[in-house]
Amino acid sequence: MRILLVEDNVPLAESLSQALTQAGFSVDCMHNGEAADQVLRTEDYALVILDLALPKLDGWGVLQRLRQRRNPLPVLILTAHGSVEERVKGLNMGADDYLAKPCDLNELEARARALIRRSHGHDSPVIRFGPLEYDSVSRAFTLDQNLLNLTPREHAVLEVLLLRGGKAVSKDALSEKIFGFDDSSSPDAIEIYVHRLRKKLEGSRIAIVTLRGLGYLLEEK
């Protein structure tokens, strides 16, 4: 899943980005509010982790503009200022969660996954689609109770399709959901990952079907 990290402390941003990347996320970093606002107008993310004390445009402004555009993207505020008044203000302005710095990286990862999961209507950490199950804590896919051995890109594609709950996802949308600015892959690479996933799903009741003009759909046969 592709997320946006907005943090003006460059060493901290690099440290958080590295930890989140190791946890399986594709991370884009912005170091000021104006840049974050611009990229949020054009790119598709699963989550934004937002510092408040930003140059050019503070985090409050980024959050306000995002919600004024009626963008429901989950927002996790990450800041050194953790007063009750500030938390209440952030939540009232449309933030979804709040974490004070310094934070535990495991907690940050857990909160990020929970927000992404809930934004797709899944309250349980285990998401099921017929015989296909995904444990969002261990990040393990099982099919008919057998562990699926997936590459990171295959995992990312299948996760997006599963979270969409049987709704079609276009190739471009899949590409935007899993490839960050620093990734060299093109949208056409999605076809390769889908082909490999189909091979691994063969013989089961789960298939990835192509809907002409709409994209790919996870289907239970």
In this prediction, residue 184 has a pLDDT band, given cuts at 50, 70 and 90, of low
Average pLDDT over residues 106-112: 92
- Please tell me the distance from the alpha carbon of residue 181 to that of residue 39, in angstroms, as a whole number: 11
| Cα 196 from chain centroid (whole Å) | 22
The whole-model pTM stands at: 0.84
Residue the block writes with tokens 């535990």: 104
Note every long-range contact of 210-215, with CB atoms under 8 Å and residues 24 or more positions apart, other chains counting: 211/168, 214/168, 214/170, 215/168, 215/169, 215/170, 215/171, 215/173, 215/174
Question: What is residue 50's predicted lDDT score, i.e. its pLDDT?
Answer: 96
Q: Per CATH, the architecture of 2-119 is what?
A: 3-Layer(aba) Sandwich (3.40)
- Residue 1 is encoded by which pair of tokens? 């899943």
Tell me: the pLDDT tens digits for 126-153?
999 999 999 988 899 999 999 999 998 9
Q: What percentage of the chain reaches a pLDDT higher than 70?
A: 98
In this prediction, residue 181 has a pLDDT band, given cuts at 50, 70 and 90, of confident
Is beta strand 47-50 parallel, antiparallel or unpaired with respect to 75-79?
parallel
Cβ contacts of 121 within 8 Å, gap of 6 or more: 165
Question: What is residue 82's predicted lDDT score, i.e. its pLDDT?
Answer: 65
CATH of domain 126-220: 1.10.10.10
Same fold, 2-119 and 126-220: no
Task: Supply the mean pLDDT for the chain.
Answer: 90
Question: What is residue 85's predicted lDDT score, i.e. its pLDDT?
Answer: 79
Average pLDDT over residues 12-31: 92
Q: What are the domain boundaries of the chain?
A: 2-119, 126-220
What phi and psi values does residue 135 have, to the nearest 5 degrees?
-90, 105
- Residue 121 is encoded by which pair of tokens? 């209507």
Strands (E), the chain: 2-6, 26-30, 47-50, 75-79, 97-100, 126-129, 132-135, 140-143, 146-147, 206-211, 215-220
Burial class from Cβ neighbours inside 10 Å (0-12, 13-18, 19+) for residue 146 reads exposed
In angstroms and rounded to an integer, the radius of gyration of the C-alpha atoms of the chain is 18
Which residues are registered as beta bridge partners of 79?
Answer: 100
